[in-house]
Amino acid sequence: MNDITKRLIQTNPLRVLGVYVGESKAKEAGNINRISAHAKVGQIAQFALRGDSVLQPLNRDEKMVTQAIQALSLPLERLKYSIFWYADSQCACSEQLNAAIDALIADKIGIALYHYNTLINSDQLREEFVDKASFGLLTLDKQRFAELFTELVSPYINSIEQLITDKCTAGEDSIQSAIFDQVWSDKLEEELKSGFTNDDNIYVQIEDFEQRANNLIQHVKLAYQFWGPQSYRYKDAAYKIISKIYQRGTYIMRHIKTFVDNGVSNTTIRASQRLLTRVHTFVVSLLADIQMDTLLAKIIKADRQTFNDSYNTLTLQMEQIVARNWHIRFLLFLLALGLLALILIENTTY
C-alpha cells in the first residue's frame, strides 16, 4: 500500500462514516447513529463501499467516529478529505474523481493525476465537486484548487521517477507538472542544504564531491526527462546545478594545489597531479551527456572556462615545481660530487 493510499484514503473520515462525496448530511447522521448503536452491543457496523475489495477493513468504534466528525467539522477540511474519496454516482464529477481514487489505490499516480487534471480544469466539474464536498459553503477557482491539491499530495510522492514513467498529462500548467515541480524542488533543496563537506582530508572532500555531484546531476536529468530541453524550468535547474559543480570542482582543485606550495617532494606532487586529473576528468565526464542549447551553453560558459583554466594553470604550475625540484636536486648532486672529488684529492695528496 503506497503512502497516499495509507495516509489519505485508507482511514479517510468519509470512509469511516460510510458515505460518498455528495451524499446528504442525513445519510451521514444515520450512519453515525448506526455505528454508535452497534458499538454499544459490541458489534462493528459495516458499510458496502467502493474500494472495500482492495482497502483494509475498518473496525469502526465510537472513538474513530468522533475523530472523523471532528476532522470533517470545517468546510475546507471536509473538502480536503473529499479529494481523496469516492463521489456518489449521481454527481457529475464522480467519473473523474472515482477513476482517480482507483488509480491512486493501484499506485498508478500518472493516471490518477490525469483524472484530477480533468476535474480541476473543468469549471463545471470542479465547481460541482467543491459545492457537494463542502455542502455549498466553499468556492475555489482553478488556481487555488490546483495549489491545494499539490500541497496535499506532494508530501506523499516518494518517487519522482514514477511521475516521469507514469506521465499522462502534458504542459507546464498541468497538475502533474505542478506536483513534479514541488516534489523535485523539495528534494533538490534538501540536497543543496546538506552542502559539500569541508573535511581537511582532501580524499574525503573529493569522494563527497563525486557523490553529491552525481546526486545533483540526476535532478538535471529528471528535469530534462519531464519538462524537455526548451522548458525554462529545465534550463534554470541545469544552470544552477552545473555552475555549482564547476565552482566546487574549481575550489577542490585549488585546494589540492595548496599541498604543493611549500616545496614538498616530487612524489607528493605527482600524487596531487593525479588527484587534480581525477577531479577534472570526473566533472567533464559527468557533464558530457547533459543536453544544452546554445543559450544555456553560453550562460555557463564562464564557470566552465574558469574550471578548465584552473586545471590547465594548476597542472602547469605543478610541472614547473617538479622541474625546479629536479633542477635543484641535480645541482645538489653536482655539489656533492664536487665535494667528494675534493675529499679524494686531499686524501691522495697526503
Cell of 175: 497538475
Cα–Cα dist 190/324, whole Å:
47
Q: What is the pLDDT of residue 63?
A: 93
Rank 260-269, 292-301, 332-341 by mean pLDDT and report only the highest.
Answer: 292-301
What pLDDT does 199 receive? 85
End-to-end CA distance of the chain: 99
Name the average pLDDT for the chain.
88
Of 7-16, 107-116, 192-201, 296-305, the range with the highest mean pLDDT is: 7-16
Helices 109-121, 94-105: axis angle to 10 degrees equals 160
Task: Indicate the range of 2-6, 180-184, 343-347 predicted with least confidence.
Answer: 343-347
Give the pLDDT confidence score for residue 287 in this predicted structure: 92
Nearest to 51 by CA among 76, 77, 25, 14: 14
pLDDT tens profile 103-144: 999 999 989 999 999 999 999 999 999 999 999 999 999 999
Residue 338 reports pLDDT greater than 70 = no
Lowest mean pLDDT among 22-26, 88-92, 254-258: 254-258
Sign, CA torsion 23/142/96/157? negative
Q: Give pLDDT, residue 126.
A: 97
102 or 168, which is more confident?
102
Residue 314 CB contacts under 8 Å (≥ 6 apart), including other chains: 253, 254, 256, 257, 276
Whole-number pLDDT of residue 112? 93
- Regarding predicted confidence, which is higher, 259 or 65? 65
pLDDT confidence band for 81 (50 / 70 / 90) = very high
**Which residues have C-beta within 8 Å of that of residue 237, sequence separation ≥ 6?**
188, 219, 220, 223
> What is the band of 312 on the pLDDT scale with cuts at 50, 70, 90?
very high
Provide mean pLDDT across the span 337-344. Answer: 63
Q: What is the pLDDT of residues 39-56, one digit of tens each?
A: 889 899 999 999 999 999
Of the candidate ranges 211-215, 289-293, 346-350, the one whose mean pLDDT is the lowest: 346-350
Q: pLDDT tens, 274-289? A: 999 999 999 999 999 8
What is the spatial distance between Cα 282 and Cα 285, in angstroms, rounded to a whole number?
5
C-alpha cell at 91: 454527481
CA distances from 258 to 255, 261, 268, 285, 302 (A): 5, 5, 12, 25, 24
pLDDT of residue 324: 64
pLDDT digits (tens, 9 = 90+) for 149-207: 999 999 998 888 888 877 766 566 789 889 999 999 998 988 888 889 888 888 999 99
> Which strand (E) or helix (H) includes residue 260?
none
Question: Is the pLDDT at 29 greater than 80, yes or no?
Answer: yes
pLDDT at position 174 is 86
Confidence of residue 253 (pLDDT cuts 50, 70, 90): very high
Looking at the predicted structure, is the pLDDT value of residue 247 above 70?
Answer: yes
